[in-house]
Amino acid sequence: MTTESERGLDAAHPGLSAVIDERRQLINLAYRLLGSLADAEDVVQETYARWYAMSRREQEAIVSPGAWLTKVAGRICLNVLTSARARRETYVGEWVPEPLPEPREWITGRPDGGTLDPADRITLDESVNMAFLVVLESMTPAERVAFILHDVFRYPFAEIADVVGRTPAACRQLASSARRRVRASRAPADPATPAAQQARVIRDFMRAWEAKDIEALIGLLDPGATVVADSGGLASAVLRPLAGAERIARSLVRFARKLHGLTFLERTVNGRPGLVAQRDGVTVTVYAFDVADGRVRRIWGIRNPAKLRPWTTPHA
């Protein structure tokens, strides 16, 4: 968000408008690298703090402020990713990237009374779908940074080398290794299941779940389907992934019976058809899905309240 001080600086030094305009790009980069909007916002705030800590002469000496900001943000993200690995060893249960709603469904206010700036919104595309972000979690921090900067944001390896502190050739190998991980994780393309049909599969799944129809749920699940829940220990959830259509179906029905008064809503989650579970108008779980061959292959249920901050009470 542009502050009064930033607007004042911009008026005194018009070149700063280009710096402020980089915010959306930086948020988009940091979220893809970290899988957390809160962490992404912290990274961008720190990046700008370092820019404004420089003297006017130092700022004017930078030929490309946008490239400088990206490099600094990339380095901060690399450090965050490295420390995150240690933090997640003590995380209660499984860790899943923070889910993102459609921009029009984002909250319009924050707990501190501020307003969510449009520049804080993430552009939804294939590089933020949940299956893709989960694969990124399997990469080393350097692989992830090299891959996202090159394959998603199209930065040359010479510039990426300056971010990760390795040679351009080494960065090329890091991106290549990351690319192999992504290819290995993908199911064969299913031309008979376009986005509209995926949405219908999720709708049928929702209706079967609401009806507590175990047989219908089993029919909509891939035999080798998996469910991963993320609660961070702050909400009830299975702490280990569930596998197998029948086991998942029975577990989902038990969950629905245990939590009375749940309302399921069809919503876009990270650019794909998903579901939101509400209780008394409050979002308690966001479900992201991976659909292949007309069946649900993977489900991610995010119940950690800290990760549901961008979600508002969806419109009916």
pLDDT digit string, tens, across residues 215-267: 999 999 999 999 999 999 888 888 899 999 999 999 999 988 887 788 999 99
Q: How do residues 208-228 score in pLDDT, each as one tens digit?
A: 999 999 999 999 999 999 999
Average pLDDT over the chain reads: 86
Per-residue pLDDT tens for 126-161?
899 999 999 999 999 999 999 999 999 999 999 999
In this structure, CATH architecture of domain 195-308: Roll (3.10)
pLDDT digit string, tens, across residues 26-41:
999 999 999 999 999 9
> Chain centroid to CA 33: how far?
9
pLDDT computed for residue 188 by the predictor: 55
293-306 confidence digits (pLDDT tens): 899 999 999 999 99
Domain ranges of the chain: 1-93, 195-308
pLDDT at 109 over 50: no
